[in-house]
A and B are shown apart, each in its own frame.
Chain A
Amino acid sequence: MDGTMNDRIQRLIAAARAGDIYPKTVHVEYDAFDENLSDPQRIAKRLTEYMAAQPCAFSDDNELVGMVRFDGSVEGPLFPRIGHRFFAQTRDQYYCKPQENLCTFEWQHSNADFGKVINVGLVGLRAEIVAARRNYESDIHRLEFLAGLESMIRGIVNRSRQYAAECRRRAADPETAPARRAVLLRMAANCEWVPEHPARTFEEAVQCLYFCFQFQPDSIGRPDQYLLPLYERGLADGTLTRDHAKELLQELFVMIHGWTPPCSKNADKGGESHFAIGGYTLDHRCAWNDLSELILEAMMECDLVRPQVSLRWNRLTPRSVLRRVLDAERHDKNKRIAIANDEPRIADMTGRRGIPWEQAYDYITVGCNEPAFQGGISLGGNKVNIVRSLVRTLDGRRAEALECRDFDSFYTLYEQELHHDLETALNWSNRFNMLRSRDCNVLTSLFMSGCIERATSVTQGGASRALWCAVFMGSTNLIDSLAVIRQFVYEERRCTMAELISALDADWKGHEALREEILRDGRFYGNGDDFADGVAHRFYRSVAAFADGRTDFFGHPLAFGNLTGYNPHFAWFGAQTKATPDGRVAGSALLFGSGQSDGKDRSGVTSLLMSVAHMDPTGVMCGDSIFNLSVDEAVVQNDESFEKLVTLVETYFREGGLHIQLNHVSAEVLRAAKKDPDRYKSVRVRVSGFSAYFVGLKESIQDDVIARTEHKA
């Protein structure tokens, strides 16, 4: 931790970690007459009244203000859809409840365009409302929606004025020290200006962001881009120092951390509030700048778990930047940093999905590393048990499967079931989205791209920058299972399809020898072996063929991914899924992510990375795909081998890898591995001049490795 961080921020961090910055809510009784108003007007009126009744909470250490919490009595921020009735109904019915063992409902991230409100202010948004009104002169519903938005602007400005007044009141208090009084007066002036007007200084911009974050507390997008002009201007004209800018960013990050209360079950996670640094500029340059560096510095000095950040890497990213970010990562005990690759994602957006460069270049990473847009909503989000399609082929279409004479005919059969399941999952997604689209939202809609112009709530298709993506649980199980069928049944003819099927029906009981043979000799995905990797290509081509020409019911092209989010969907689906040809036993968890495990990757990390980088030749997996790589802590901490790790990651990206996050093996994992070696077969450690599977080491060496690992932490 940098010793230069000032005491004020240190105190704010302590308060945030203790949950003290989390403002209380005040209950508000609404006028029953409101029910006669249109949805948008009623919601805006109630939100205005609600916000006006909430305390202006900030401490003597704050120089930024604006926190407000919503109690669910009215439609608040879109993420996490506080107070949205139909959303709540959908959630109660489907959240974490796998439908047909095929898919579940998930939350959907959505991100305000904070850069825009900083630049044009609410006055700019009001001008857009006035302009939009002319396009809908006879459309009463849309006019009502626009009226709701306009009234919401008044409510927000009113709220900022309340904060200004509170600052002035405290400044006038004779007890207030003169230095603090000057600060309070500056804070009051800031709140009188933003967010109503375009920010004129870096401080006003960060104040605007802090204040508006309350209305959409998800990703802050690309702050190193949209805050850059005011940052540079401030440094140039001497009104801003780098240290002061850092302090403002730190105060913002403390608030973001504290926005998730300590009592929340997600308090130890950081998925909400993930944002991006680096990437491309509109004119195709490397976007990394001094503010990106400052943001990273500011984060690393704060012992917080939120926000989280991804470096957007691309071909123009200098190795020094990748090294800088990985260096921060290796020292970050809170594990807030990941890295995503612009190249395949932007290529898929501008190619298959038809998104123009002018939008695609500006994508962000949210949640558990999902590509998204500022001012955009993520649709879909469903978790799909992709292994079910194979079970249906082997069970539901058994007679046909037994008749197949070669792998191609079997695969043709399988592909029909795959497309059937993808269609079913898409239908479920549309059903979830139709249900939740009955809600109306006027608060977040203001900050979403397209809602004003379309005069439509973000919940009802108003957002023009939307992405649809569903994610697979078990893709690696599926690919390995198909590869085993190809190898064992059709090419090496070590067993018949009938034998394999009876082994699966019996959950391998009485067929242990076959299972052992499969686990020992199977040519699995992740070994840089064209055999299984070829099966992966074929599978993703089939997924792409399904996506081709299809859209969700709002009209967005389809993409897929493989993360699991906060919930163990992979375990729930696995619990309901019978044994699979890859040697998996009935009921055990499915795999998620683009990697491999269970010791099936035996050819070293470079082979695994090559398989992962090349897994999908179509781009259809450019949605919410992640890849966790376990690296020996000693490799990460040693400067010489760390340098090699940097080039390892860079090469993986050059080869097309989408995303990476590193897992340095912890002492905790090593201890667990010692107790339960079967579950941790693929954990590798470096002992001295060589590396080895941890579970294969003798006990005294294991203890030494654990001790050294503990020493590092």
Chain B
Amino acid sequence: MSETSTLVFDIEKFAVHDGPGIRTVVFLKGCPLRCLWCHNPESQSFEQETMAGVNGGPPETVGKAMTVEEVMASVRKDKPFYDSSDGGLTISGGEPLAHFDFTLALLAAAKAEGIHTAVETSGFAPRERIEALLPLVDLWLWDVKAPPAIHKKLIGVEAAPILDNLAFIAARGAAIVLRCPLVPGVNDSDDALAHIVNLAKNTPGVRKIDIEPYHPMGEGKSRRLGRTGYFTAPFATDADKARWREAIFGPDGCE
């Protein structure tokens, strides 16, 4: 199992926004979706890619094949930090569930060493995979990208199977954080915000809602990858953020 390998495009240490405590986030390369605003366009393809350098610097190769044991060697080093902060490992992407064998093996290895695990996912995956991972995932960071009515248009797939998967893990007692990337004028209508609130209310096990304001980070990277026709929108304004917070957390805007 520890020889299972996949393409990893980054390992971030002292990650403080992807689950509780001090975490290491392992980013796997490859995602079946094509979100309009994807901030990590280099994470979409399952192949190694070359990104043009910044400021005339040398080009960067994105994606390195790593085995579970190689990743664990890096993750394991921060055990003292996880222990003192109730942190741990977060697997992100791309889409971890699209790297099923690797994700399963990495989670098992982390659990075997007493490391808390989180998976950040769009939830778009066959049910059996989700079921297989359930006992190994301490916390699901579950994306809520758009309300069902416009889901297909923005993400390329229907919301229904994703919502079914969410209901499935919730019914089995999973701990869940809803992660909501919000793009002004695109997926932040009153209806869209109401969808988030209702989902949180009706899904047992939701601990927290994270609002992730849009930033045009993906644009530069798309350009460096030689892609054309990429999506762009302005930064979320303070007024946007205030409106989102009020709609989701109530008038005092606290989580």
Contact = CB atoms under 8 A, between A and B. Distances in A.
A639 to B, nearest CB: 11
A396 interface: no
Most buried by B among A648, A690, A696: A690
Given A635-B16, A698-B219, A644 B77 contact: no
Contacts of A38: none
A40 to B, nearest CB: 55
Interface string A675-699: 0010000000011111110011110
B14 A606 contact: yes
Given A604-B13, A605-B13, A640-B16, A655 B22 contact: no
Given A677-B55, A688-B213, A701-B217, A607 B13 contact: yes
A62 B218 CA distance: 60
A640 B55 CA distance: 34
B215 A695 contact: no
A701 B84 contact: no
B231 to A, nearest CB: 15
Interface in A590-646: 603-607, 610, 635, 640-641, 644-645
Given A644-B85, A644-B87, A647-B85, A704 B235 contact: yes
B17 A689 contact: yes
A100 B97 CA distance: 62
A654 interface: yes
Given A610-B77, A690-B39, A698-B220, A651 B17 contact: no
B54 A695 contact: yes
Interface in B5-25: 11-18, 21-22, 24
Contacts of B85: 644, 647-648, 651
Interface string B76-94: 0110110111010000000
Nearest to A699: B220
B63 to A, nearest CB: 16
Contacts of B215: 687-688, 701, 704
Chain B contact residues, majority secondary structure: mixed
B81 A606 contact: yes
B117 to A, nearest CB: 17
A604 B77 CA distance: 12
A450 interface: no
Interface residues of B, number: 31
Contacts of B18: 689
A650 interface: yes
A701 B54 CA distance: 14
Contacts, number: 88
Nearest to A643: B85
| Chain A interface residue bracket vs B | 20 to 34
Interface string B199-233: 00000000000001101110110000000000000
A671 to B, nearest CB: 16
A704 B235 CA distance: 9
Nearest to B214: A688
A606 B75 CA distance: 11
A66 interface: no
A56 B55 CA distance: 63
B77 A701 contact: no
Nearest to A642: B16
B212 A650 contact: no
A640 B80 CA distance: 19
A647 B21 contact: yes
Contacts of B50: none
B155 to A, nearest CB: 18
A528 interface: yes
A651 B84 contact: yes
A2 B215 CA distance: 36
A607 B22 CA distance: 13
A654 B84 contact: yes
Contacts of B55: 677, 695
Contact of A607 (B77, B87, B212): B77
Given A607-B77, A704-B235, A648 B216 contact: no
Nearest to B56: A677
B3 to A, nearest CB: 22
Interface string B238-253: 0000000000000000
A519 to B, nearest CB: 11
Contact of A687 (B11, B22, B83, B217): B217
B212 A688 contact: yes
Contacts of A4: none
Contacts of A635: 16
B74 interface: yes
A701 B78 contact: no
B237 to A, nearest CB: 12
Contacts of B212: 688-689
Contact of B54 (A640, A645, A690, A696): A696
A655 B80 contact: yes
Nearest to B213: A688
A650 B22 CA distance: 12
A122 B83 CA distance: 52
Contact of A648 (B81, B217, B219): B81
Nearest to A319: B84
Given A644-B85, A647-B84, A687-B215, A604 B14 contact: yes
A700 interface: yes
Interface string A268-312: 000000000000000000000000000000000000000000000
A640 B11 CA distance: 22
B17 A641 contact: yes
B136 to A, nearest CB: 23
A644 B13 CA distance: 12
Contacts of B39: 689-690
A146 to B, nearest CB: 54
Given A606-B77, A606-B81, A677-B55, A641 B16 contact: yes
Given A635-B16, A640-B16, 6 more contacts: A603-B74, A605-B14, A606-B14, A648-B22, A688-B212, A688-B215
Interface of B: 11-18, 21-22, 24, 39, 54-55, 74, 77-78, 80-81, 83-85, 87, 212-213, 215-217, 219-220, 235
16 contacts: A604-B24, A606-B77, A640-B16, A644-B16, A644-B85, A644-B87, A645-B16, A647-B21, A647-B85, A648-B85, A688-B213, A690-B39, A692-B217, A697-B220, A698-B216, A704-B235
Closest 7 CB pairs of A and B: A604-B13, A698-B220, A647-B85, A641-B16, A606-B13, A605-B14, A651-B84
